[in-house]
Amino acid sequence: MPDIFTYDIVEALRRSGCPLCRVDAIDDRRWVDSFWREGKQDPGTRRRFFAAGGFCRHHAWLLHRLVAAAGAGAAIADVYGFLAESDLSRLDDLRGSLDRGRRRRRTPLRRGSRCPACVAFEAGAERKIYFFVQLLAEASVRPHYGSSDGLCLVHFKPSLEHALDVDEDVARFLLDDWRRRLAHVRGQLAEFDRMRDYRYAAEPKGDEQRSWTEVIRRYVGERFTEGPGHD
């Protein structure tokens, strides 16, 4: 399975947080990074970028962070310069048709397609689920997964669904593992609650103090999108 995702996933099992949140974030940055370095020269990629009216908010700011870190503002000036130019003529068209008293049925700045980085992200995320389930079929990988921080619910759900389709043994493993992790955080939340009682106020505080952060991470995953080098 010599795929870059597989390598990234194995690597992510050794790091903190949901491994698939981590590889999604790595891949997201990789895509945007290669967009401004060479992708934007590709006519197809360029067309999709303009058809979408540029990137969504998340990807535009990710692009901005990466470009700023490289001191390469000209990359943004290029694509967003073209975009602004074509939007100016659309606005002029609209203004002209208003002056001619014509009603336009279409929303004037409607875009023909979705943010191309989002489209690439979703396709990549799906492939990673596929590779992750394949990895877990290897008995030697399971202890590594077991000792990692495990999947968030966002990644657990599609992984379980895919495993149920292709490998019930992996599905059982995933289910037991995730149930154990959820039961653990549930126990910690109960402990946190108990210790808020003044009668136990003198007891030393422990991991349960982080439980209300842990439960959010378990459900929605990590915030790995803060910028390059963030983890």
Positions touching Zn ion (CB under 5 A) are 18, 20-21, 56, 59, 115, 117-118, 152, 155, 221
CB closer to Zn ion out of 141 and 148 = 148
Alpha helices in the chain (DSSP H): 4-12, 19-37, 43-51, 57-69, 74-99, 116-136, 142-147, 153-166, 168-195, 211-220
Judged by beta carbon, residue 52 or residue 195, the one nearer Zn ion is 52
Kindly state the smallest distance separating residue 124's Cβ from Zn ion, in Å: 12
Nearer to Zn ion, 97 or 147 (CB): 147
Among 207, 213, 208, 217, residue whose Cα is nearest residue 150: 217
d(CA 100, CA 143): 71
| Choice between 62 and 195, CB closer to Zn ion | 62
Cα torsion 178, 122, 10, 220 to 10°: value is -30
- Closest distance to Zn ion from the beta carbon of 123 (Å): 12
Q: How far is the CB of 226 from Zn ion (least distance, A)?
A: 15
In the bound complex, what is the minimum distance in angstroms from residue 194's beta carbon to Zn ion? 29
- DSSP H helical ranges for 72-115: 74-99
